Amino acid sequence: MIKLIVNADDFGYSKGINYGIIEAHRNGIVNSTTMMMNMPGVSHAVGLAKENPNLKVGIHLVLTCGKPLLTDVPTLVDQDGFFKKNRDILESNISLEELEREWTAQVEKFLETGLTLTHIDSHHHVHTVPRFLPIVQKLSKKYNLSVRRVSDHALEGVPPYSDVFLHEFYGEGATYDYFEKIVTQVQDGQTVEVMCHPGYLDHEVLNNSSYAKDRVTEVEILTSIKLPNQFVLT
């Protein structure tokens, strides 16, 4: 059998996304999610997670969306106090000391909820930026957490969350036959993570997310398909 993790990113982004993720869990195949601790819907997400204890919840570390939890991290933010955009993050001189404090604050805020923290990944995969690796290694070791891989090779010095990571269930790639097609890409006995982004539309999503209506389509697919016999949700 192939052990399958269907992880919904962006839990906590907004109530609309939260409800979509929970729908895809209760009535679909989503069995894991990762939460953004700095976003408007985080308290709502915590409540929903506690009502659905079978849903695994990890942390979606944030560096490119919203505002940081800390106020004394000047190299991480723009002139308005928001996290810098993707391109600016890669091109600017980020303080690793500030980054470690901010990401530690995000993990600690998660732990304060009383939820069990399952693993680490990040918004826009920023945890895979090579110069941030020492911070990810420290967090993984300190909190005894596995970390999402985003390629054939796991991040150096940290335990991977899965043997295989698949990211194509997105936009036009999110199809009703997606899971049938990936059977040939994985091997018996492997643990496979499929990243997804289900959600419903609300003001926050429509005005701030570049990925909006497709989230609703993902909910529909994830709640209506039947997995091939080779997969078992784990």
Give the separation between CA 201 and CA 18, rounded to whole angstroms: 10
Confidence label for 4 from pLDDT (cuts 50, 70 and 90): very high
Q: What is the per-residue pLDDT across 179-193, written as a single tens digit (0 to 9) for each?
A: 999 999 899 999 999
Domain with 14 in it: 2-233
pLDDT at 1 over 70: yes
Q: Provide the CATH number for the domain around residue 127.
A: 3.20.20.370
Looking at the structure of the chain, the number of domains it has is 1
131 to 85, 92, 94, 122, 135: CA distances (angstroms): 17, 12, 10, 15, 9
Q: What is the per-residue pLDDT across 143-167, written as a single tens digit (0 to 9) for each?
A: 999 999 998 888 999 999 999 999 9
Q: Which residues contact 93 (CB under 8 A, 6 or more apart)?
A: 75
Phi, psi of 119 (to 5 degrees): -170, 175
Confidence label for 91 from pLDDT (cuts 50, 70 and 90): low
**pLDDT score, position 88:** 67
Would you state the structure tokens that stand for residue 53, as one six-digit string? 């204890």
pLDDT at 39 over 90: yes
